Amino acid sequence: MSIELKSVSKQFGEVAAVNNVTFSVNEGELLALLGPSGGGKTTVLRMIAGLEVPTEGDIYIRGQRVNDIKVQKRNIGFVFQNYALFQNMNVFKNIAFGLKIKKWKSADIKARVRELLELLGLEGLDKRYPHQLSGGQRQRVAIARALAPKPSVLLLDEPFGAVDAKIRQELREWLVRLHHDLNVTTLFVTHDQEEAMEVSNRIVIFSRGNLEQIGTPRDVYEQPANEFVARFIGVMNVLELEVFKNVGRAGELQFPAPGYADGERIRIGFRPFSVQISSDLNQFPYQAVVRQTYFLGVMLRLELELESGLLLRSRMSKEEYANLALYDGKKVSLQIRNYRILSREHEPLGPELTAPEKSSLFVGEGI
Amino acid sequence: MAGYVKRSRQTNGHTASKGGTEESPFFKWLLITVALLFSILFLLLPLVNVFAQALSKGWQAYWTALSEPDAWAAIKLTLLVAAITVPLNVVFGLAAAWAIAKFDFRGKSLLNTLIDLPFSVSPVVAGLMYVLLFGLQGYFGRWLADHEIKIIFAVPGIVIATIFITFPFVARELIPVMQATRSEQEQAALTLGATGWQTFWRVTLPSVKWGLLYGIILCNARAMGEFGAVSVVSGHITGQTDTMPLRIEKLYQEYNAAAAFAIASLLALLALLTLGIKTFLEWKQERDYERAQRAAESYEDSTAPTSREPEITAVRSQP
């Protein structure tokens, strides 16, 4: 076990930034701390680093309780959101800083810095000052500086926040490769669920200081623990149903809702992939009109308007779109294959259900 | 012909200007002329005149005026006052700027205002404040006299008055640069194992060094040149509590213009030297920056072709 948090809370004055959070990180893992801003994820990262002190609870790094150990002695590498490179030092001195502090021999420092420059593709930049580097280069210098003293944990705060979209994509792949090569336990904070899904082994999801779920990207997508996670990870259609005689209704849509009292309102959710469309108006039970089509590369997103005015989001491949001969304004029939009863936030979710309609073309839910 | 050339130049000037925001050439030259004339008339000429007057009776008289014991005592006292005042104000200035830039605390705005007090209080009043505190009739006067401590009409009084007058220079220069230095850089140093002290010396101080140097230079110039406050507390004891400005005043009142100007020229020379150092430092900083910039550009040139190469081969191999 590389890092362990046990019932950790953090108060900033009256505000509870982190609430009773418990989780552990395995040695060599690449873990994402994900959540909307203000969710407490950065505070958790800073507490692990020792830049903040928990109000309650214990933090362990490699089995050692570090609550009372100062940031200098925790042997962590921290990469700040804006990199925080030393402006008055060139790249070489930035990377060598931690080694000089630890009184390495100058020959060893040189060798280690060379090694890192090579590893991070920064050869030839050692004499440059931070303001002469591109955003991506700055980030790599910041990572090299953090890695130089061979930390037991690498912590990155919004590592891709300050660069533009194209470089972001490259940096993500690069971080995965780097982690693969070094195998150092890495935690990074992000508010971008796509980024977390793509890069990490496991994701810890925070909202308003609470840990909502921890699991692999597939886990949190397919088995969301509660409504917050279900709605935060990926795109989800959410409907509010009113139950009458074990059937929940919203507009013309009907879902079986056994066990709920008449008049009770429940929420259900389903992924865009679960909305199945046919150009044969009689194939599926509900009629709708294609309102808007968004091209997302290979995939398309459609906005469908039901007769009652409800709007649903659907997703399909280009081929499917072509086969169905769809266009904006075309009338289609649709059904919803799988859905979840979301009930209330922070409550465990019901299992995924299959709609009982005449679903001859049923296929398991894709991602 | 000449008129034609002139006009073509004007149109050139207009195409270079940004959408007509530039002033007309007449206005531009008017401004430059006024600024230059004023600085020559009110700044340069009097300064040159100081040196001219100082040397009006020849080098021999100039040297005699400077090497005379009372003049020499004044020079030494001035240097001593500066040597005590400047380091103390560097420490105070750093502490005050650090506190204001990095922390939030009760009384922060009060401290901020207090730092500016010496700028707004007349130096004579500043001197009087200390006379009222430490003078024989002052609050602490009796106690000090009992313990045979002499502040007013002695060197300590001059030092204290000078510290008061020069207090804002270092702090005022440092506060903006310290606020600009992100505390994240300092936190980064901590995560890399640096102690608070190491962080201060290696990260904070280097990033504010130009502001600090500039503050020191201004502080030093004022410490050596201060007249009003020092005049009130010094007592004008020739050979003992006369600083250079006081000595100059005294000689001038005694109709010894050549000797007065001789010391004045020395003081002016110190001021010019200070300005010279400041300009040199600014130039050096500029040069370092440009060198680094040029190094960066030449690196770009040397790496650009290699990074383009694979693309070209990829295109070739396609068909």
Q: How far is B197 from chain A (nearest CA, A)?
A: 12
Region A108-134 average pLDDT: 91
| A298 Cβ contact partners less than 8 Å away, ≥ 6 residues apart | A317, A318
Nearest to A33 by CA among A232, A211, A268: A211
* pLDDT over 60 at B314, yes or no: no
Chain B residue closest to A50 (CA)? B191
* pLDDT over 60 at B311, yes or no: no
- Are B292 and A88 in contact (CB < 8 Å)? no
Q: Return the percent helix, strand and coil in chain B, to nearest 5.
A: 80, 0, 20
Region A218-240 average pLDDT: 87
Interface test with chain B among A76, A101, A117, A126, by most B beta carbons within 10 Å: A101
ipTM of the complex, rounded to two decimals: 0.80
User: What pLDDT does residue B275 have?
Assistant: 83
Region A138-149 average pLDDT: 93
Q: Which residues pair with A306 in a beta bridge?
A: A288
How many Å apart are CA A254 and CA A263, to the nearest integer? 14
Residues of B in contact with A125 (CB under 8 A): 299
- Are A132 and B293 in contact (CB < 8 Å)? yes
Task: For residue B192, give the nearest of A51, A82, A149 by CB distance.
Answer: A149
The three-state secondary structure class of B140 is coil
Judged by a CB distance cut-off of 8 A, whether residue B196 touches chain A is no
- Are A72 and B182 in contact (CB < 8 Å)? no
User: What pLDDT does residue B37 have?
Assistant: 95
Judged by a CB distance cut-off of 8 A, whether residue B256 touches chain A is no
B223: tokens are: 């410490």
- What mean pLDDT value characterizes chain B? 82
| B274 Cβ contact partners less than 8 Å away, ≥ 6 residues apart | B217, B220, B221
Residues of A in contact with B288 (CB under 8 A): none
Could you write out the three-class secondary structure of chain A?
Answer: CCEEEEEEEEEECCEEEEEEEEEEECCCCEEEEECCCCCCHHHHHHHHHCCCCCCEEEEEECCEECCCCCHHHCCEEEECCCCCCCCCCCHHHHHHHHHHHCCCCHHHHHHHHHHHHHHCCCCCCCCCCHHHCCHHHHHHHHHHHHHCCCCCEEEEECCCCCCCHHHHHHHHHHHHHHHHHHCCEEEEEECCHHHHHHHCCEEEEEECCEEEEEECHHHHHHCCCCHHHHHHCCCCEEEEEEEECCEEEECCEEEECCCCCCCCEEEEEECHHHEEEECCCCCCCEEEEEEEEEEECCEEEEEEEECCCCEEEEEEEHHHHHHCCCCCCCEEEEEECEEEECCCCCCCCCCCEECCCCCCCCCCCCC
| A88 Cβ contact partners less than 8 Å away, ≥ 6 residues apart | B203, B206, B207, B209
* pLDDT over 50 at B23, yes or no: yes
Please report the number of interchain residue pairs, chain A to chain B, with beta-carbon separation below 8 angstroms.
75
* pLDDT over 50 at B11, yes or no: no
Q: Pairing state of beta strands A353-354 and A275-278?
A: unpaired
- What mean pLDDT value characterizes chain A? 87
User: Contact at 8 Å (CB) between A7 and A57?
Assistant: yes
pLDDT, tens digit, for every residue of A290-302? Answer: 999 998 888 899 9
How many Å apart are CA A303 and CA A293, to the nearest integer? 6
Task: For residue B193, give the nearest of A72, A85, A124 by CB distance.
Answer: A72
Please, which pLDDT band fits residue B284 given cuts at 50, 70 and 90? confident
Residues of A in contact with B209 (CB under 8 A): 88
Q: What percent of chain B has pLDDT over 90?
A: 33
Chain B residue closest to A79 (CA)? B188
DSSP B23: P
Q: How far is A103 from chain B (nearest CA, A)?
A: 11
The three-state secondary structure class of B240 is coil
Judged by a CB distance cut-off of 8 A, whether residue B189 touches chain A is yes
- Are A84 and B188 in contact (CB < 8 Å)? yes
- Are A84 and B292 in contact (CB < 8 Å)? no
Judged by a CB distance cut-off of 8 A, whether residue B285 touches chain A is no
A311: tokens are: 């709007």
Sign of CA dihedral A58, A59, A64, A66: negative
* pLDDT over 60 at A356, yes or no: no
Judged by a CB distance cut-off of 8 A, whether residue A72 touches chain B is yes
Task: Residue A201: count other Cβ atoms within 10 Å of its Cβ.
Answer: 16
pLDDT, tens digit, for every residue of B184-227? Answer: 899 999 999 999 889 989 988 888 888 898 899 889 989 999 99
Q: What percent of chain B has pLDDT over 70?
A: 84
User: Contact at 8 Å (CB) between A312 and A276?
Assistant: no
Q: How far is B181 from chain A (nearest CA, A)?
A: 9
- Are B206 and A88 in contact (CB < 8 Å)? yes
| B290 Cβ contact partners less than 8 Å away, ≥ 6 residues apart | none
Instruction: Domain ranges for chain B, please list them.
Output: 58-298
What phi and psi values does residue A187 have, to the nearest 5 degrees? -120, 130
Judged by a CB distance cut-off of 8 A, whether residue B299 touches chain A is yes
- Are B192 and A97 in contact (CB < 8 Å)? yes
List, as one string, the DSSP characters of B180-233. Answer: HS-HHHHHHHHHTT--HHHHIIIIIHHHTHHHHHHHHHHHHHHHHH--HHHHHH
Region B97-104 average pLDDT: 86
Region A85-104 average pLDDT: 93
What does the angle CA A156 – CA A159 – CA A161 come to, to the nearest 5 degrees?
A: 140
- Are B193 and A149 in contact (CB < 8 Å)? yes
Task: For residue B292, give the nearest of A102, A129, A145 by CB distance.
Answer: A129
The Cβ-side half-sphere exposure at B90, using a 13 Å CA radius, reads 17
B42: tokens are: 């009110």
User: What pLDDT does residue B15 have?
Assistant: 45
A118: tokens are: 């090579």
Nearest to A186 by CA among A139, A152, A144: A152
User: Contact at 8 Å (CB) between B234 and B159?
Assistant: no
A33: tokens are: 């701390």
User: What pLDDT does residue B84 have?
Assistant: 95
Task: For residue A82, give the nearest of B184, B292, B293 by CB distance.
Answer: B184
**Distances, alpha carbon A163 to alpha carbons A46, B170, B215, B217, in Å:** 22, 37, 37, 41
Chain A residue closest to B206 (CA)? A88
Nearest to A135 by CA among A177, A87, A83, A173: A83
Which long-range CB contacts under 8 A does B79-84 form with residues at least 24 apart?
B79/B224, B80/B155, B81/B155, B81/B158, B81/B159, B81/B162, B81/B223, B81/B224, B81/B230, B81/B243, B82/B162, B82/B220, B82/B223, B82/B224, B84/B159
Q: How far is A188 from chain B (nearest CA, A)?
A: 16
How many Å apart are CA A3 and CA B188, to the nearest integer? 21
| A33 Cβ contact partners less than 8 Å away, ≥ 6 residues apart | A41, A42, A44, A45, A187, A188, A189, A190, A204, A206
Judged by a CB distance cut-off of 8 A, whether residue A98 touches chain B is yes
Burial of B110 (0-12, 13-18, 19+ CB in 10 A): exposed
Nearest to B86 by CA among B270, B242, B238, B286: B270
| A69 Cβ contact partners less than 8 Å away, ≥ 6 residues apart | A50
How many Å apart are CA B119 and CA B32, to the nearest integer? 30
How many Å apart are CA B9 and CA B1, to the nearest integer? 13
Nearest to A285 by CA among A245, A234, A319, A251: A251
Region B239-262 average pLDDT: 89
- Are A76 and B191 in contact (CB < 8 Å)? yes
- Lowest-pLDDT range of A143-147, A154-158, B103-107: B103-107
Judged by a CB distance cut-off of 8 A, whether residue A282 touches chain B is no
- The A residues from 34 to 53 touching B (CB cutoff 8 Å) are 49-51
DSSP B42: I
- The B residues from 45 to 74 touching A (CB cutoff 8 Å) are none
pLDDT, tens digit, for every residue of B140-197? Answer: 888 888 888 888 888 999 999 999 999 999 999 898 888 877 688 999 999 999 998 8
Q: Which residues pair with A72 in a beta bridge?
A: none
pLDDT, tens digit, for every residue of A245-268? Answer: 888 888 889 888 888 888 888 888
- The A residues from 234 to 253 touching B (CB cutoff 8 Å) are none
What are the b/e assignments for B160-199, b being 16+ CB within 10 Å? bbbbbbbbbbbbbbbbebbeebeebbbbbbbbbbbeeebb
- CATH of the structural domain B58-298, one choice from 1.20.970.10, 3.40.50.2020, 1.20.1530.20, 1.10.3720.10: 1.10.3720.10
Task: For residue B185, give the nearest of A72, A86, A146 by CB distance.
Answer: A86
* pLDDT over 90 at A148, yes or no: yes
- The A residues from 103 to 162 touching B (CB cutoff 8 Å) are 124-125, 127-129, 132, 145-146, 149
Chain B residue closest to A101 (CA)? B194
User: What pLDDT does residue B316 have?
Assistant: 34
Nearest to A355 by CA among A342, A341, A336: A336
Judged by a CB distance cut-off of 8 A, whether residue B124 touches chain A is no
pTM assigned to the model: 0.73
User: What pLDDT does residue A348 have?
Assistant: 60
User: What pLDDT does residue B7 have?
Assistant: 42
